[in-house]
Amino acid sequence: MRIAIGSDHAGYKYKTRIKQYLIDAGHEVLDLGTDSEAPVDYPKFIRPVAEAVAAGKAERGIVLGGSGNGEAMVANRVHGVRCALCWNEMTARFGRMHNDANCLSLGERTISIEMALSIVQIWLDTPFEGGRHAKRIAMIDK
């Protein structure tokens, strides 16, 4: 799978770890920055991830920041992106099963790296249920 990833300075450490985790699992990773912990304006690095997903340049996207809230908000402003802010395995599973989340937002200051990696794996492995949820997704994507 081709996965776009981006973070601000507050999510940089986790972005680096998650990127390597994805590469080790055989995924192709499109890293859209940032490249250090130097302070940056997060939309500059988050919106390109969402745009890559919306344009089909990546099948999925992962965005990271301090809390993940602002990152999810920026990503969700791009038409066709359904970004789920996740903080545990259940939110990751439901984000995929019920909402067909094609983008994942994580907060480095809110969860451990072990939890972040577990969330990523569940989010990658969980299929969308479709059915009654598909009608809602179609309404969102209009």
The answer to whether residues 7 and 103 touch, using CB atoms and an 8 Å cutoff, is: no
Q: What is the pLDDT of residues 50-101, one digit of tens each?
A: 999 999 999 999 999 999 999 999 999 999 999 999 999 999 999 999 999 9
pLDDT for 32 equals 98
- pLDDT level of residue 131 (50, 70, 90 thresholds): confident
Q: Which two tokens stand for residue 102?
A: 């094609």
Q: 9, 51, 71, 108: which one is catalytic?
A: 71
Q: Looking at residue 142, what is its pLDDT?
A: 66
Which pLDDT score, from 0 to 100, does residue 134 have? Answer: 72
Q: Give the residue-averaged pLDDT of 24-51.
A: 98
Average pLDDT over residues 111-130: 97
pLDDT at residue 138 greater than cutoff 90 = no
Q: Which of 98, 108, 114, 133 is catalytic?
A: 98
Domains in the chain, CATH or no CATH each:
2-140 (3.40.1400.10)
For residue 122, pLDDT beyond 80 = yes
pLDDT at residue number 130:
82
Q: Which 3-state string (H, E, C) describes the chain? A: CEEEEEECHHHHHHHHHHHHHHHHCCCEEEECCCCCCCCCCCHHHHHHHHHHHHCCCCCEEEEEECCCHHHHHHHHCCCCCCEEECCCHHHHHHHHHCCCCCEEEEECCCCCHHHHHHHHHHHHHCCCCCCHHHHHHHHHCC
Does residue 98 have an active-site annotation?
Answer: yes
Is 71 assigned a catalytic role? Answer: yes
